[in-house]
């Protein structure tokens, strides 16, 4: 199994979402000894925004006219069996670097043509340009800052349900993301991450996660009192907590 782990956090290797994604990947690798993993930090890549020119649909059939690091990333996508998109939740949606990557993948789907009734079914209105894309598995891994994930991921789920169909991708959404980067909680975090490793094993065995597992993975690491004390101290005490530091 070839796994492409795309890290869409501007916090690079310090990303909390990445911590979770890497735990999930550890689980995959422990279950599938032939698994190969390639990690790409999108923040280090030159990814131009989609020009919206539709040359890839009308002129160059499947080829984007922009030459940048997306050439290399698209090739990695085509060579992978599992694509993991790891990203923080920003304003209840995708952060711009990950969104720029996604927009630049439009050349992988065929042009939109109006067919009566398609809109009513709510299904995605594009065929895949390369049939092998349908065999690939997509996993979303994301941390958000709030105490719980309740309602936070509605827009993301709605978006990917439209693109892939609800049953065709895997969701790993984690609350209290900032706390995963808090040094005081190092041991707690290590214990918390075990369930994501287990999820990686389940993913190899079943090719997906059950709804039950997806729900369990959203259980917060800290109880309310500890979380509120920690997050408030982070804002109020200089030098305390993970926020207020630029991650290079």
Ligand X SMILES: Cc1cc2nc3c(=O)[nH]c(=O)nc-3n(C[C@H](O)[C@H](O)[C@H](O)COP(=O)(O)O)c2cc1C
Nearer to ligand X (CB atom), residue 88 or residue 200: 88
Terminal C-alpha separation, the chain: 32
Minimum Å gap between C-beta 97 and ligand X is 11
Residue with the CB atom nearest ligand X in the bound state = 177
DSSP for 72-141, please give it.
Answer: HHHHHHHH-SEEEEEEE-BTTB--HHHHHHHHTTGGGBPPP---TTHHHHT-----BSSGGGGGSEEEEE
Closer CB to ligand X, 90 or 160, in the complex? 90
Among 4, 6, 17, 42, binds ligand X (CB under 6 A): 17
* Position among 33, 58, 91, 121 found at the interface with ligand X (CB under 6 A): 91
244: CB partners within 8 A, 6+ apart: 234, 238
Choose, by CB under 6 A, the member of 4, 6, 16, 85 that binds ligand X.
Answer: 16
- Residue from 24, 90, 160, 173 in contact with ligand X (CB under 6 A): 90
- Please choose, out of 30-38, 67-75, 85-93, 232-240, the segment that lies near ligand X by the rule CB under 6 A: 85-93
Alpha-carbon distance of 57 to 108, in angstroms, equals 9
If the CB atoms of residues 7 and 107 are measured against ligand X, the closer one turns out to be: 7
Tokens 């996508």 map to which residue? 77
Q: What is the DSSP letter of 131?
A: G
- Chosen residue from 146, 214, 218, 226 binding ligand X by CB under 6 A: 146
Which of 171, 184, 108, 107 has the alpha carbon at shortest distance from 138? 171
Interface with ligand X in residues 148-207 (CB under 6 A): 152, 177-178
Closer to ligand X by Cβ: residue 145 or 220: 145
Let me know: does 1 contact 32? Beta carbons within 8 Å: yes
By CB under 6 A, name the one of 6, 9, 107, 193 that touches ligand X.
Answer: 9
Q: What are phi and psi of 94, to 5 degrees?
A: -85, 145
Binding footprint of ligand X on the chain (CB under 6 A) = 9, 11, 15-18, 88-92, 143-146, 152, 177-178
């Amino acid at each position: 199994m070839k796994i492409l782990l795309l890290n869409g956090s501007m916090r690079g290797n310090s990303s909390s979402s990445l911590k979770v994604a890497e735990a999930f990947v550890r689980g995959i690798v422990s279950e599938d000894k032939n698994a190969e993993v390639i990690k790409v930090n999108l923040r280090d890549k030159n990814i131009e925004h989609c020009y919206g020119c539709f040359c890839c649909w009308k002129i160059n059939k499947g080829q984007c006219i922009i030459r940048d690091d997306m050439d290399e990333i698209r090739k990695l996508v085509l060579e992978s069996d599992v694509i993991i998109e790891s990203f923080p939740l920003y304003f209840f949606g995708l952060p711009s670097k990950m969104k720029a990557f996604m927009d630049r993948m439009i050349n992988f789907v065929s042009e939109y043509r109006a067919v009566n009734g398609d809109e009513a079914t709510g299904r995605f209105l594009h065929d895949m340009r390369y049939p092998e894309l349908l065999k690939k598995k997509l996993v979303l891994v994301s941390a958000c800052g709030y105490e719980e994930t309740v309602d936070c991921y509605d827009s993301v789920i709605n978006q990917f349900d439209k693109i892939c169909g609800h049953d065709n991708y895997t969701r790993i959404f984690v609350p209290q993301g900032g706390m995963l980067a808090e040094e005081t909680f190092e041991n707690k975090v290590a214990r918390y991450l075990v369930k994501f490793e287990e999820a990686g094993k389940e993913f190899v065995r079943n090719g997906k996660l059950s709804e039950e597992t997806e729900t369990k993975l959203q259980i917060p690491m800290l109880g309310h009192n500890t979380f509120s004390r920690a997050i408030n101290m982070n804002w109020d005490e200089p030098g305390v907590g993970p926020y207020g530091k630029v991650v290079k």
